[in-house]
Amino acid sequence: MSVVTITENAALRIKEIMEENGETEAFLRVAVQGGGCSGLSYAMGLDFEVAEGDEQSEQFGIKILVDKDSAPILNGTVIDFHQSPMGGGFTIDNPNAISSCGCGSSFRTADHEGTPEEC
The domain spans of the chain are: 4-109
What mean pLDDT is predicted for residues 38-47?
Answer: 88
Structure confidence at residue 118 (pLDDT)? 55
Which helix H or strand E contains 9, and what residues bound it? helix 8-20
Sheet of 87-93: strand order equals 4-6, 77-84, 87-93
Contact assessment for residue 114 and residue 98, using Cβ atoms and an 8 Å cutoff: no
Structure confidence at residue 100 (pLDDT)? 73
Condensed to tens digits (0 to 9), the pLDDT of residues 86-101 reads 888 998 999 988 777 6
Residue 80 confidence class, pLDDT cut points 50, 70, 90: very high
CATH topology of domain 4-109: Hypothetical Protein Aq_1857; Chain: A; (2.60.300)
Structure confidence at residue 39 (pLDDT)? 75
